[in-house]
């Protein structure tokens, strides 16, 4: 039995779900503008997935002067081209145009970036980029930025509610008026009233069995928005990072290739020559990931399905200076030292280009509800994200979301407390029933099956027959969840309850990926159909939109917002 907390409902001007870079950047701006802020996070903010970002953050600072003159317009073109022209170009202009200011702002807050010989922020090349524009802090850039923002937030009067799992949004008269959350420590339900709610919950990578994502990335924000009536956009576009550590799928940053690392198959061949002769290892991630997987399929990889990342020619000094984290990960988890040994790598799920449909100012179709960061689809990444643009999105659109919420005044906080408390009781009863049902299967079994289904049926290469079987099984799993339960009836820190709630999020999100991928009969960016290997601009230069009504998912389409960059063939 889940109880309602004694301090059952709290009121804030702004409620932010998620304590990663996006959520903290929005929280900081709102607090600076005098708004009362609640940050509700499933984990401590410093354990958010943002901390795992390694390689860097893009901005046209022009600090690598030997490479020519960069510009935000060049950055925008690279982003649109890398996105296979599915990105909304107005949103891309905001992202890239604001990038230099956003990075320098983080530096002035205290973020310690690596430096070049002139003392400026160092920049290195990343895949799909025409200039070395990726600013970095060795190979732990996300860690540096997250700690910087958290320190800034701690100097303001922001209420943090750590280890709280948001289970539902409160919608009153068509407007988002708050939310309810399960407190892991007490096992109680708590309510939050707010004039504006931001979903900054990250991606949904853990619906796949081989993923670089933290275990917390289960699509909770996408589920909350979907069940509240908002749309999910472009869910079929799931990025597979080319280089994850074989066996564990821990990320081996693109920075390793940006510094000059090369990929070799089991025959010792630098095989990228066959797939992207000009860009080689620095082609966009979707191209490199497919190339590696093709080598595996053709028997050119090592037994078990991996290729080698060779960093040995970089030398110990450069590796220790610029890739110390990568070296330590390789030693600790693969038993190899990149200074003098090859690193075994294979593709793994890494990023979600799709997410909650949001406008350029982060508003969803539900008044009072916003989305930003990886949880959202604004869309700045289109069909494929370039490395270095994810951290940029968090700090640019986190601030945009904060500015939008500041404009939603306290006058919007007209709530019916009884409605929120009724929602809290329903959610509490729902959690309580997890230990009451007659269990045909366990939640853990369903999770394992879902993750394997998604990787094998909606992975790097896709076709109609395989996806159709996968979609039918994912749909069936949604119904089986109602007959699954958990064994742990403990009140405090019941992780079995959290895993069940996460699975409740994961299943409809996975089905949204499935139906969108099955309907898109073309190959574009990360979505590669072996039965439709060509891009089809005539029929599919459009966004996939998934909505839910009475538990059923429906697919429609929306136009891509084009701009100055003409749609062309993507060649690297």
How high is the mean pLDDT of the chain?
Answer: 94
Whose tokens are 């959610």? That residue is: 427
| Structure confidence at residue 1 (pLDDT) | 60
| Structure confidence at residue 409 (pLDDT) | 62
Bond from prior residue into 379 cis (ω within 30 degrees of 0) = yes
DSSP 305: T
Does the pLDDT value for residue 22 go beyond 60?
Answer: yes
Euclidean distance between CA atoms 336 and 566, whole angstroms: 46
> Average of pLDDT values for 466-470?
98
| Structure confidence at residue 430 (pLDDT) | 87
- Summarize the chain as % helix, strand, coil (round to 5): 40, 20, 35
In the CATH hierarchy, which top-level class contains the domain 1-52+143-237+353-376+385-532+541-566? alpha beta
> Average of pLDDT values for 354-382?
97
| Structure confidence at residue 412 (pLDDT) | 58
Euclidean distance between CA atoms 375 and 547, whole angstroms: 16
pLDDT band of 3, cuts 50, 70, 90: confident
Which tokens go with 442?
């366990």
E-strand stretches of 200-306: 232-233, 238-245, 262-264
> Average of pLDDT values for 372-389?
97
> Average of pLDDT values for 380-390?
97
| Structure confidence at residue 410 (pLDDT) | 57
| Secondary structure string (H, E, C) spanning 44-100 | CHHHCHHHHCCCCEECCCCCCHHHCCCCHHHHHHHHHHHCCCCCCHHHHHHHHHCHH
Q: Each residue of 296-326: pLDDT tens digit?
A: 999 999 999 999 999 999 999 999 999 999 9
| Structure confidence at residue 180 (pLDDT) | 96
Euclidean distance between CA atoms 414 and 427, whole angstroms: 22
Give me the CATH topology for the region 242-347.
Answer: Flavocytochrome C3; Chain A, domain 1 (3.90.700)
> Average of pLDDT values for 184-200?
95
Q: Each residue of 490-516: pLDDT tens digit?
A: 889 999 999 999 999 999 999 999 999
Euclidean distance between CA atoms 546 and 544, whole angstroms: 7
| Structure confidence at residue 491 (pLDDT) | 85
| Structure confidence at residue 2 (pLDDT) | 78
Which tokens go with 165?
């799992």
pLDDT band of 431, cuts 50, 70, 90: confident
| Structure confidence at residue 369 (pLDDT) | 97
Domain residue spans of the chain: 1-52+143-237+353-376+385-532+541-566, 242-347
| Structure confidence at residue 314 (pLDDT) | 96
Residues whose CB is less than 8 angstroms from the CB of residue 32 and which lie 6 or more positions away in sequence, other chains included: 156
Which tokens go with 450?
């879902």
Q: pLDDT over 90 for what percent of the chain?
A: 89
In this structure, the strands spanning 552-559 and 542-549 are: antiparallel
> Which position among 25, 35, 124, 285 bears the catalytic label?
285
Annotated active-site residue 285? The verdict is yes
pLDDT band of 414, cuts 50, 70, 90: low
| Structure confidence at residue 411 (pLDDT) | 54
Residues whose CB is less than 8 angstroms from the CB of residue 197 and which lie 6 or more positions away in sequence, other chains included: 14, 15, 16, 17, 169, 176, 178, 179, 368, 369, 370
Does the pLDDT value for residue 417 go beyond 80?
Answer: no
Distance of CA 426 to the CA centre of its chain: 30
Q: Each residue of 536-549: pLDDT tens digit?
A: 999 999 999 999 99
Euclidean distance between CA atoms 537 and 347, whole angstroms: 27
Euclidean distance between CA atoms 387 and 254, whole angstroms: 7
> Residue 232 pairs with which residues in a beta bridge?
356, 546
Q: Are 371 and 200 in contact (CB under 8 A)?
A: yes
Element (H, E) at 226: helix 220-228
């Amino acid at each position: 039995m889940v109880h309602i907390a004694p301090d059952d409902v709290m009121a804030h001007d702004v409620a932010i779900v998620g304590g990663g870079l996006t959520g903290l950047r929005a929280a900081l701006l709102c607090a600076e503008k005098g708004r009362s802020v609640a940050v509700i996070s499933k984990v401590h903010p410093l354990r958010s997935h943002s901390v795992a970002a390694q390689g860097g953050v893009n901005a046209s600072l022009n600090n690598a002067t030997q490479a020519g003159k960069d510009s935000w317009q060049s950055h925008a073109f690279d982003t649109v081209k890398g996105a296979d022209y599915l990105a909304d170009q107005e949103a891309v202009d905001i992202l890239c145009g604001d990038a230099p200011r956003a990075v320098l702002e983080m530096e002035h807050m205290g973020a310690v970036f690596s430096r070049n010989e002139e003392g400026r922020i160092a920049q290195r090349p990343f895949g799909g980029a025409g200039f070395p524009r990726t600013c970095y802090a060795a190979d732990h850039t996300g860690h540096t930025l997250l700690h910087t923002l958290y320190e800034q937030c701690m100097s303001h009067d922001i209420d943090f509610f750590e280890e709280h799992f948001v289970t539902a949004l409160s919608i009153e008269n068509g407007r988002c008026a708050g939310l309810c959350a399960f407190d892991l420590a007490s096992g109680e339900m708590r309510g939050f009233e707010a004039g504006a709610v931001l979903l900054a919950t990250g991606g949904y990578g853990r619906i796949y069995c081989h993923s670089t994502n933290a275990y917390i990335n289960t699509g909770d924000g996408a589920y909350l928005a979907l069940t509240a009536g908002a749309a999910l956009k472009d869910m079929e576009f799931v990025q597979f990072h080319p280089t994850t550590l074989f066996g564990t799928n821990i990320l081996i940053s693109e920075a390793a290739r940006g510094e000059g690392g090369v990929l070799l198959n089991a025959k010792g061949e630098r095989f990228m020559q066959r797939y992207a002769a000009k860009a080689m290892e620095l082609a966009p991630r979707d191209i490199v990931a497919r190339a590696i997987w093709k080598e595996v399929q053709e028997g050119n990889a090592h037994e078990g399905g991996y290729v080698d990342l060779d960093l040995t020619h970089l030398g110990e000094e450069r590796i220790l200076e610029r890739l110390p984290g990568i070296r330590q990960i390789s030693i600790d988890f693969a038993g190899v030292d990149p200074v003098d040994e090859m690193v075994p790598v294979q593709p793994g799920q890494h990023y979600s280009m799709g997410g909650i449909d949001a406008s350029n100012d982060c508003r969803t179709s539900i008044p009072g509800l916003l989305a930003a960061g990886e949880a959202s689809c604004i869309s700045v990444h289109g069909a494929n994200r370039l490395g270095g643009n994810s951290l940029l999105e968090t700090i640019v659109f986190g601030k945009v979301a904060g500015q939008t919420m500041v404009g939603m005044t306290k006058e919007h906080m007209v709530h019916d407390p009884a409605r929120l408390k009724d929602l809290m009781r329903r959610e509490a009863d729902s959690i309580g029933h997890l230990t009451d049902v007659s269990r045909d299967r366990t939640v853990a079994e369903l999770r394992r099956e879902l993750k394997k289904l998604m990787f094998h049926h909606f992975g790097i290469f896709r076709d109609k027959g395989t996806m159709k079987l996968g979609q039918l099984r994912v749909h069936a799993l949604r119904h089986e969840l109602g007959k699954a339960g958990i064994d742990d009836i403990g009140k405090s820190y019941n992780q079995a309850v959290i895993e069940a709630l996460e699975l409740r999020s994961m299943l409809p999100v996975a089905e949204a990926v499935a139906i969108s991928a099955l309907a898109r009969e073309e190959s574009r960016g990360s979505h590669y159909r072996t039965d439709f290997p060509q891009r089809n601009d005539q029929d599919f230069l459009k966004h996939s939109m998934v909505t839910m009504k009475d538990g059923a998912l429906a697919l429609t389409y929306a136009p891509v917002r084009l701009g100055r960059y003409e749609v062309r063939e993507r060649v690297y």
